[in-house]
Structure formats: structure tokens, C-alpha cells
């Protein structure tokens, strides 16, 4: 068996936001795209969807790299129990932001750490409560033209101009809303046997 210190760390994600966040921990890592169907299951809650997908992504990549420690993550915006994913298009982003204006949305950010060789598999979830301002259609359009956040769950980047769309953010892990809760990630990596700088 390979000692934990020598194990490759892989981020099972193509997200540039998650890659930037993980780099903050000062650990060498590579990235690999997971091959996971992200379609919600009938009746699946946003929380359960995020947890299932984070674990599925980590397990998928770990299946191809059994000696590595793999991180999987997923974020689902939860509007009154309805999952909102990445809009993908301008029209869907407009519709999401119109629905979320004046509302509180819970961003369910799940992560999982898996090492197939050792049998390690743990997951965690950071729920971030975000209250949106009562946005006018013109504000929504200006924001989307400026930032084009079509690859972000909930159509808003809090780390950028999207912060101006919000009234408040409540959470216990400041990086969770961006897409990878680093406090929880560090905890799970230590539990998997890695030593952080």
C-alpha cells in the first residue's frame, strides 16, 4: 500500500472556481473531469442531490485512480425545496434571478473525499443562506451582461459583481458559496491522512 503522504490528490472537477479555491491549501493536486449524470432523481431534495453528486464524482474519479485521494464537490441552489442548477443560457439565468429576487435561497455545497485503496469515503455539506435583493429586470439584465454567470448554480457570482445582488449571506465557511467549502475540505483531507502545510 502507498503511504498517504505519497498519494496523488485529485480534484474531481473541471470548475476553475474549485481549482482556485483548492490551490489555497498549498497542496499539489491535479484535476480530472468526473463522468457523472447530474440529472436529479424524482423527488430528490436539493441537499440530497448535492451530496449524491459530490460522492458520485469522487467515486467515479477514484475508480480510475484507486491509489489517489479524490475530492468531489457539487452545489445546488435550493429555492423553497426546488433545485436550481447552472442556467447555461442567458434566458434561463434571467428566469432564475427573477424567481430568486426578494427570496432567501439556500446554496447546498457538498463535498466528498474518497480513496478507493484505503476504503476512505466521507462527505460533508455546507448550507449557505443567501437573501437576494428585490431586483428589477434592468438590474438583472445589466448584471448578466457584465458577468455572464451561466456556469454558476443560481446565476450569481458572490465573489464578483453578483455580491451587489444580495442583501445578506449567512454561513460558517466563507468559501462554500464559491463552490468548495475549504474548512470542511481541510477537515476531510486530514481525516483521509493528508498533512496540510
Decide: 33 and 53 in contact? Cβ < 8 Å: no
Residue 146 CA to residue 136 CA, distance in Å, equals 16
- What is the reported pLDDT for 85? 84
Confidence band of 5 (pLDDT split at 50, 70, 90): low
Nearest one of 8, 63, 9 to 34, comparing CA atoms:
63
104-128 per-position pLDDT tens digit: 999 999 999 999 999 999 999 999 9
Q: What is the pTM of this model?
A: 0.91
In whole angstroms, give the CA distance from residue 168 to residue 129: 8
Active-site amino acid positions:
74
Q: Which CATH class is domain 4-191?
A: alpha beta
Q: Which residues pair with 123 in a beta bridge?
A: 112
**Helix count and strand count (H, E) for the chain:** 5, 7
Tally of CA atoms within 13 A in the half-sphere of 118 that contains its CB: 19
State the residue for C-alpha cell 452545489: 75
pLDDT value of residue 63? 97
Q: pLDDT tens digits, residue range 46-89? A: 999 999 999 999 999 999 999 999 999 999 999 999 998 889 99
- In Å, what is the CA distance from 45 to each residue of 76, 83, 94, 102, 152? 10, 7, 23, 22, 19
Which residues contact residue 34 at a Cβ distance below 8 angstroms, ignoring those fewer than 6 apart?
Answer: 12, 13, 56, 57, 58, 60, 61, 72
3-state secondary structure of 98: helix
Amino acid at each position: 500500500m502507498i503511504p498517504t503522504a505519497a498519494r496523488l490528490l485529485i480534484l474531481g472537477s473541471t470548475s476553475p472556481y474549485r481549482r482556485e479555491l483548492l490551490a489555497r491549501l498549498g497542496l499539489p493536486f491535479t484535476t480530472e473531469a468526473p463522468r457523472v449524470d447530474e440529472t436529479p432523481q424524482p423527488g430528490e431534495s436539493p441537499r440530497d442531490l448535492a451530496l449524491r453528486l459530490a460522492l458520485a464524482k469522487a467515486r467515479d474519479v477514484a475508480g480510475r485512480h484507486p491509489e489517489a485521494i479524490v475530492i468531489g464537490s457539487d452545489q445546488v441552489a435550493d429555492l423553497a425545496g426546488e433545485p436550481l442548477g447552472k442556467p447555461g443560457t442567458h434566458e434561463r439565468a434571467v428566469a432564475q434571478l427573477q424567481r430568486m429576487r426578494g427570496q432567501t435561497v439556500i446554496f447546498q455545497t457538498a463535498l466528498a473525499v474518497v480513496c478507493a485503496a484505503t476504503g476512505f469515503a466521507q462527505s460533508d455539506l455546507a448550507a449557505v443562506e443567501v437573501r437576494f435583493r428585490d431586483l428589477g429586470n434592468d438590474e438583472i439584465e445589466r448584471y448578466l451582461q457584465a458577468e455572464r454567470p451561466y456556469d454558476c448554480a443560481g446565476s450569481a457570482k458572490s465573489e464578483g459583481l453578483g455580491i451587489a445582488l444580495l442583501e445578506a449571506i449567512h454561513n460558517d465557511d466563507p468559501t462554500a458559496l464559491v463552490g468548495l467549502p475549504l474548512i470542511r475540505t481541510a477537515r476531510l483531507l486530514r481525516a483521509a491522512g493528508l498533512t496540510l502545510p
